[in-house]
């Protein structure tokens, strides 16, 4: 694993504080040439040390963020089951009383509650769940929220929204990947790119 020298650390710090900063501005601040800064950034990216991610701040678009910690018999299988879920932001394998941490978004708190009660809790091998709503973050979030969702009759995990008590009682907007979705965030806008 490559070591970060003081110059690498300063370049990373500058990019963290302002991801849109130009390489020329970085070069001025660290006292290197722009090609030297470019080479360092390329090396850091190639080594997997520096990753730039474009994302959406859930609170800025009216979404709620939840951390759902699960103790599962098959943690990797649980993660695979949610891999293509449009509500999943990230899934982490963890050590401790729980072994999976799911970061998920929903349009309402009830939407997230239905996700836990109808899609996670009934899964075979799920022994324990801790469900927490994230109310704020100390650093603005940029999360990889999927903005596209293919519409089909049942959810990616094989569930049919109209059969859900939360959906029937208008507490859940339904899965954005189904034709039953009745929320607002994943609705396609009338203007398509290129039209």
6-46: CATH number: 1.10.10.10
Domain 6-46 matches domain 58-148 at the CATH topology level: no
Q: Which residues of the chain have pLDDT under 70?
A: 1-2, 149, 188-195
Per the CB < 8 A criterion, the answer to whether 179 and 151 are in contact is: yes
Question: What percent of the chain clears pLDDT 90, i.e. is strictly above it?
Answer: 58
Q: Which pair of structure tokens corresponds to residue 49?
A: 């040390």
The pLDDT of residue 141 is: 86
Q: What is the mean pLDDT of the chain?
A: 89
Task: Tell me which of 3.30.70.920, 1.10.8.50, 1.20.1250.20, 3.40.50.1110 is the CATH number of domain 58-148.
Answer: 3.30.70.920
| pLDDT tens string 103-122 | 999 999 999 999 999 999 99
Q: Pairing between strand 100-106 and 64-72? A: antiparallel
| pLDDT tens string 38-73 | 999 999 999 999 988 889 999 999 999 999 999 999
User: Which sequence spans correspond to the domains of the chain?
Assistant: 6-46, 58-148
């Amino acid at each position: 694993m490559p070591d970060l020298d003081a110059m690498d650390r300063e370049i990373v710090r500058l990019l963290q504080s302002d991801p849109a900063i130009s390489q020329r501005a970085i070069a001025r601040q660290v006292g290197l040439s722009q090609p030297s800064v470019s080479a360092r950034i390329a090396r850091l990216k190639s080594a997997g040390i520096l990753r730039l991610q474009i994302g959406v701040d859930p609170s800025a678009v009216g979404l709620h963020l939840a951390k759902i910690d699960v103790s599962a018999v098959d943690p990797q299988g649980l993660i695979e089951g949610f891999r293509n879920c449009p509500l999943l932001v990230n899934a982490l394998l963890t050590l401790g009383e729980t072994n999976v941490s799911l970061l998920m978004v929903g349009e309402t708190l009830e939407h997230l509650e239905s996700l836990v009660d109808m899609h996670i809790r009934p899964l075979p091998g799920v022994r324990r769940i801790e469900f927490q709503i994230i109310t704020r973050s100390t650093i603005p979030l940029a999360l990889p929220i999927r903005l596209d969702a293919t519409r089909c009759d049942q959810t990616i995990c094989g569930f049919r929204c109209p059969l859900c008590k939360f959906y029937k009682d208008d507490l859940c907007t339904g899965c954005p990947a189904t034709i039953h979705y009745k929320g607002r965030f994943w609705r396609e806008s009338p203007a398509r790119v290129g039209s």
